[in-house]
Amino acid sequence: MERVPHHRRKANRMSDSSDRAGREAVVVGGASGIGWATATALAAEGCRVTIADLNVEGARERAAGLGAEHAAAHVDVTDEDSVQRLFEDAGPIDIAVNCAGFSNVGLITDMTAADFRAVIDVCLTGAFIVTKHAGRHLREGGSLVQISSLNGRQPAAGMSAYCAAKAGLSMLTQVAALELGPRGIRVNAVAPGFVHTPLTAAAASVPGVVEDYVDNTVLGRAGTAEDIANAVVYLCAPGSSWLTGEVLDINGGAHLKRYPDVMGHVMRLVEQSS
């Protein structure tokens, strides 16, 4: 079938799923949280999804739950050989979503360089490695979406590594959009506020943290993984075909207010426990 150059393609309505059906998608970090919600949403749009995760058994269970046409794979975003194998095995793809990430808490003057690097390795260097190899396998007109964070624009005491990594991810997204744009590939990011996921469970268990987040969110609630997945689906759909290099704040308006005092809540808990 003749391929039509991206600049000659006609725009399609979001309600027309014919162009989305049968597209190949890879969701890195897809076995839980935002990644799993994203994999589910893309599958509902007719995409064939490869769920890639460090937890390969979890990925296999998730893929089996979606149906026989979907696949699972092991990936460690800090290991370039692992990421390269993932995308080589996936072959030509239309969508790549990178949800891999984690954080730690500690004041700069107390944090070890190893703890700082561990977050950077996953959240920023890992994102670079995913972008590098996804970019080699995305078809013309494809879409790459990174999951960033409100911390990419709002600093938080005790979260230096995560804030630095997510701020760097915003710029990486823009540079990748410049470099991959000539092939019609769009690169964007979604920056969630507080969302209940396994990643945020530890923070949510600290008394006062969730309440502080909600009090500083204009719409007065925490987010859901589905809120973020819906934004990712939009960024991968024909309706966003003229959008690239953007970091979408999906946070209920939390970026309009102050960031919660997470470290303060943690320190109070430590004092009460000692």
> CATH number, domain at 239?
3.40.50.720
**pLDDT at residue number 19:** 56
Burial of residue 102 (number of CB atoms within 10 Å: 0-12, 13-18, 19+): middle
Burial of residue 88 (number of CB atoms within 10 Å: 0-12, 13-18, 19+): exposed
Catalytic residues: 162
Boundaries of domain holding 234: 20-197+224-257
87: in domain: yes
Could you tell me the strand order of the sheet in which 186-192 lies? 71-74, 48-53, 24-28, 93-98, 138-147, 186-192, 247-250
**pLDDT at residue number 6:** 30
210: in domain: no
93: in domain: yes
65: in domain: yes
2: in domain: no
262: in domain: no
Q: Which residues of the chain have pLDDT under 70?
A: 1-21
266: in domain: no
Count structural domains, the chain: 1
Q: Over the stretch 38-88, which tens digit does the pLDDT of each residue have?
A: 999 999 999 999 999 999 999 999 999 999 999 999 999 999 999 999 999
11: in domain: no
60, 132, 139, 53: which is closest to 95 by C-alpha? Answer: 139
Tell me how crowded residue 192 is: count the other CB atoms within 10 A of its CB.
25
pTM for the predicted model, two decimal places: 0.91
**pLDDT at residue number 89:** 98
